[in-house]
Amino acid sequence: MPPKRKSLEAPDNTGKKAKLEDDLAEFCRATVEFITDYTPEGSEENIATDFLKLPSRKVYPEYYDIIEQPISLHEIAKKVSKGEYRSVDDFLQDFKLLSSNCDTFNDPSAAIAQDAQEIYRLVAEKVAQFQEARVEAAPKTPKLILKQKVKEEAVLITKSTFVNAITKVVDDLIGLRVPKRGIISDAFLDVPSKEAYPDYHSVIAQPRAFNYVRAKIAADEYTSLRAFEEDLELMWQNAKSYNADDSIIFRDAGILERSCNKKLEKLKRDFDPEKNYLEVADEEEKVGLKLKIAMKPEATPAKRGRPRKDGTVKLEGETEVPEELKEEPEPEPEVEEPEPVSPFPPGFALRSDKQPQVKEAFIQELSVASSKVARMQLLQPNVPVVGALNDYFEFRFTASAAKTSNYSFSLPENASSISIVATLNSSLAKREYTHVLLVNNEKVVPSPSAHYADEDDKALSSRFELKLALGLNQVQFCVQALPVVAVDLNGKLPSRTTISNLLPEIERKTLWVSVSH
């Protein structure tokens, strides 16, 4: 009787796979614990203190506008506990992301950025040691690896591709929004004028602004990505050199710079920073013109016949139709455009729908003058009049039909304390309204000198005493009022729901005030 053959079964690798997963999970857990407790030699502070949790959204709202994938040691530890890491490369990639985020939001030379780079270096060393240990423990079996060459197709980058890419960077930076503040690029749109900011041009040798960059793009003056990058870098450097470190312009320059660097890094994956794409594009266009061969259309045989009076040709064999039997073409019916449907009941109208007039503007006048102390010196008998007059200044901005107005000016040297008086429209006395003054995005409380209207005890002007920081300051005065509604033909007001859905009318004046030494 022949011996029975042994059944060929596939080897059970379940145990090996489970052991590998356990080893990976233990390695990741131990590495996170090591980084959390690591203190460099000669230092008393833990290197991971700033990376344990994500930054607060209230304190750093701009962080979440700039960083697309926030991550901290807390998120990494959570992924380790859930077993989401399938390889050490995935684990190391998250620490690389942590370091990259820190470099993007902070200056790469800052201490916190150096700590993030050190954390990534330490984890990379641990990963290398773990992989070496795995290779030594694994049985050495010869493997035949066939490498197949993949032919990569070159992507043709033309002049228009390059111009569109750098234009999009500028447009994205101009439209960058920060929570509770909105767009922050207003101060970077144009180069400050020499009349309004003479000291700026004495400090800044090469002024740069977004509209300046746009003009160079339109004139094909950026021959490479490097030249485009240098102008943007100069813009951030100028803003930080001229303005104080704690000013809003200085902080906004940092936010725009970090966002810009991130966008440029993505462009450098497709564009050679030193290559002149304008010259390459010109050569390609010439080649394309040479390849375009104008083909003559095939000549069609002329149809034989005799001409009619109206210029057409009667062909041979064609039957002529008598004039009285010819039908006139029917005119196309006129399509009446539907009238726009109003969302409000018949007879209901908003006063805000009218073209705004200067006399209807909420802000009738906004004046900026030297502080109350300087003005009071004019009334002191013992103070020389000439000196007091030299210290006194005043700027007045009258009502405008525009809902949003922007102005820029410089204060006299060594003048940083100012008094702002806002005069409002008397019609606001009969309406629900609020007004606020923001200096570098911080609310200012008015001084106790408000003037009131005769009716309803509504304040129609307010004075604010404040001190501005050195550099460029943003001063915003905003008035918000509910729209005026009218009764319908039956003398009834719209429903409460309709009124509650109406958006308030807002009028804003923005002053860019430069303070110098």
Domain residue spans of the chain: 19-137, 159-277, 351-515
Decide which of 263 and 409 is more confident. Answer: 263
Picking from 258, 278, 265, the residue whose alpha carbon sits closest to that of residue 106 is 258
Decide which of 14 and 227 is more confident. Answer: 227
Token pair of 422, please? 């806002």
The residue-averaged pLDDT of 312-319 equals 51
As a whole number of angstroms, the distance between CA 463 and CA 420 comes to 6
pTM: 0.38
CB 424, CB 460: distance < 8 Å: yes
Q: Where are the alpha helices (DSSP H) in 83-186?
A: 88-105, 111-137, 159-174
pLDDT at 107: 75
Q: Average per-residue pLDDT in the chain?
A: 74
The identity of residue 68, as a single letter, is E
Pair type for strands 404-410 and 505-515: parallel
User: What distances in angstroms separate CA 264 from CA 184, 226, 298, 483, one per listed residue?
Assistant: 20, 10, 52, 45
SS3 content of the chain, % helix, strand, coil (to 5): 40, 15, 45
Picking from 17, 20, 19, 28, the residue whose alpha carbon sits closest to that of residue 88 is 28
Residue 291 scores a pLDDT above 80: no
The residue-averaged pLDDT of 495-513 equals 76
pLDDT at 357: 54
Query: Which range is most confident: 6-10, 231-235, 501-505?
Result: 231-235
Decide which of 169 and 154 is more confident. Answer: 169
Residue 180 scores a pLDDT above 70: no
The residue-averaged pLDDT of 188-192 equals 90
pLDDT at 95: 93
The residue-averaged pLDDT of 222-237 equals 92
H or E stretch at 75: helix 73-81
pLDDT at 57: 82
CATH for 19-137 (1.20.920.10, 3.40.50.2000, 3.90.700.10, 2.40.50.140): 1.20.920.10
Token pair of 508, please? 């804003």
The residue-averaged pLDDT of 376-397 equals 57
Indicate the pLDDT class of residue 179, thresholds 50, 70 and 90: low
Token pair of 494, please? 């719209």
As a whole number of angstroms, the distance between CA 278 and CA 368 comes to 49
CA Rg, the chain, in Å? 36
The residue-averaged pLDDT of 452-476 equals 72
Residue 368 scores a pLDDT above 50: yes
430-434, 459-463, 464-468, 501-505, range with the lowest pLDDT = 501-505
The C-alpha angle 124, 125, 129, rounded to 5 degrees, equals 115
Indicate the pLDDT class of residue 71, thresholds 50, 70 and 90: very high
The CATH fold of domain 159-277? Histone Acetyltransferase; Chain A (1.20.920)
Pair type for strands 442-444 and 433-439: antiparallel
CB 394, CB 369: distance < 8 Å: yes
Decide which of 360 and 355 is more confident. Answer: 360
The residue-averaged pLDDT of 143-149 equals 51
Summarize pLDDT for 72-129 with one digit per residue, the tens.
999 999 999 988 998 889 999 999 999 999 888 887 777 888 889 899 999 999 999 9
As a whole number of angstroms, the distance between CA 33 and CA 40 comes to 15
Decide which of 246 and 419 is more confident. Answer: 419
The residue-averaged pLDDT of 392-414 equals 82
Tell me if residue 363 falls in helix, strand or coil. Answer: strand
Q: Do 19-137 and 159-277 have matching folds?
A: yes
Summarize pLDDT for 203-215 with one digit per residue, the tens.
898 999 999 999 9
As a whole number of angstroms, the distance between CA 473 and CA 471 comes to 7
Instruction: Provide the CB-side half-sphere exposure for 293 (13 A, CA).
Output: 3
pLDDT at 344: 40
